Amino acid sequence: VSYKGPLLDDGALAQAVSRGASSPEFTKLCAWLVSELRLFCKLEENVQATNSPNEAEEFQLEMSGLLAEMNCPYASLTSGDVTKRLHNQKNCLLLLTYLISELEAARMLCVNAPPKKAQEGGGSEVFQELKGICIALGMSKPPANITMFQFFSGIEKKLKETLAKVPPNHVGKPLLKKQLGPAHWEKIEAINQAIVNEYEVRRKLLVKRLDVTVQSFGWSDRAKSQTEKLAKVYQPKRALLSTKCTISIANLLAARQDLSKIMRTSSGSIREKTACAINKVLMGRVPDRGGRPNEIEPPPPEMPPWQKRPEAGPQQGSGRGGRGGYESSYGGRGGYDHGGHDRGGRGGYDSYGGRGGHEQGSHDRGGRGGRGGYDHGGRGGGRGNKLQGGWTDGGGGGYQDGSYRESNYRDGGFQTGGYHGGGGYQ
């Protein structure tokens, strides 16, 4: 590494490394390596050599900052107590190895890719543009003491001489003819910058879509074996697609009137250059997948709409009577106006059964008396229709007290376990 110092003597390096950061000679070697490295790398941190062992802590702090900036991969040099890292002989040798390898790599890169020479006149963008104009017009190098007015006057004169050698309408008339002031140019520059930023985002989007699309073709099993061929074909073409926009105000000044002509993309002359075989393939009828917001039905409501309770109509008398409650007094009656067709409702748990129809039985027989509860028998049924013989269907007796008093005209007698005429069941 072209080092010339006292550590080249036999045993001097081993002795300095054994002392580590406390050795001024070791710190001088590290400082020299860093100074050589800074010639090839843009490093902000720097390391100063020490003159006494008392400055070892400051040296280690400076070296720690430098290694952090260089992204040193060795954890023993970048972690742990800063004041004790370089008191170990192994760590000191590792530090020297790392600095020497980085210096050698930087020198090799500098030889293989030499830095570009500084352009004349400071190498600014304006200078490069003016130099390109002079080269394109075939002008000689202007003298050093020339003024800007003389320089641009020479360019204008050379342009007129060049345009005189071409046909009259070879270049065309400029699209922008109006003279603009500094304020107008500032506004145009701001507008152009906004458009450049917008289209840079659009270019990034299109390029990302292209990358994803090409990547999707490599998902199949057949394409996985052709990955290298695909990359070999795609990557060179992909490298030519830049997301940076190169349009500037110079393009506006160079625009000719032919750019203002708007031609339809379906015109014959245009289609001759844009037509291809795929345009002749017609797609078949595809089903309508919908998705239009104006055709989507609204979702059903979470709660049904509130409605007024409908009024009940006139009741008919032909229904059954309702059941009595658990301990209510009577069961429900049968129909009142036209007589119940069947029978009265059942009685409650501890009470009387419901009555039968009100004195006017149905066409076949009178309404049957409801059953009695556990303690009281039900009352007898009403009289039957005389046309059907009447007087025959007596009411059923109770569970304990038979209805020998309630039966009709002794047709059901009081007999033990008798079943004739619906006698009691004792």
Residue 264 lies in a domain: no
Residues 101 and 126 in one domain: no
For residues 419 and 361, state if they share a domain.
Answer: yes
In-domain check, residue 263: no
Out of 84, 112, 140, a domain closes at: 112
Using the 3D structure, point to which of 243, 258, 273 is the last residue of a domain: 258
**Using one digit for the tens of pLDDT, what is the confidence trace for 69-124?**
888 888 888 888 888 888 888 999 999 999 999 999 988 888 776 555 544 444 57
Q: What is the DSSP letter of 350?
A: S
On whether residue 285 sits in a domain, the answer given is no
pLDDT value, residue 313: 62
| Same domain, yes or no: 43 and 69 | yes
99 and 124 belong to one structural domain? no
d(CA 102, CA 35): 12
Cα angle 198, 201, 205 (rounded to 5 degrees) comes to: 140
* Helices and strands of the chain, counted as H and E runs: 12, 0
Same domain, 25 and 97: yes
Structure tokens at 411: 């047709």
* Residue 313 falls inside a structural domain: no
Q: Is there a single domain that holds both residue 323 and residue 424?
A: yes
| Domain-embedded: residue 280 | no
Is residue 341 located within the same domain as residue 415? yes
326 and 417, same domain (yes or no): yes
Owning domain of residue 208: 186-258
Do 251 and 335 belong together in one domain?
no
Work out how many domains the chain is built from and give that number. Answer: 4
Same domain, 328 and 425: yes
266 domain-assigned: no
User: pLDDT tens digits for the chain (426 residues)?
Assistant: 678 888 888 888 888 888 888 898 999 999 999 988 988 888 888 888 888 888 888 888 888 888 988 888 888 888 888 888 888 889 999 999 999 999 999 888 887 765 555 444 445 778 888 888 888 888 888 888 888 889 899 999 998 888 888 887 788 888 888 888 999 999 999 999 999 999 999 999 999 999 999 989 888 888 888 888 888 888 889 888 888 888 888 888 888 888 877 777 777 777 777 777 776 777 778 788 877 877 878 777 777 777 777 777 655 544 444 444 443 334 444 444 444 344 444 444 443 434 444 444 434 344 444 444 444 434 444 443 443 333 434 444 444 443 444 434 444 334 444 344 443 343
Specify the 3-state DSSP secondary structure of 7: helix
Within this chain, do residues 125 and 90 fall inside the same structural domain, yes or no? no
Residues 101 and 127 placed together within one structural domain of the fold? no
Q: Rounded to an integer, what distance in angstroms lies between the CA atom of residue 334 and that of residue 365?
A: 14
Cα–Cα distance, 344 to 282 (Å, whole number): 81
246 in a domain, yes or no? yes
Residue 292 resides in a domain: no
Distance separating alpha carbons of residues 241 and 333, to the nearest angstrom: 96
Angle made by CA atoms 177, 179, 182, in degrees to the nearest 5:
140
Helix (H) or strand (E) holding 160: helix 148-163
Query: Which of these, 12, 32, 86, 78, lies nearest to 55 by C-alpha position?
Result: 86
Of the candidates 112, 145, 173, which is a domain's last residue? 112
How many angstroms separate the CA atoms of 113 and 6, rounded? Answer: 33
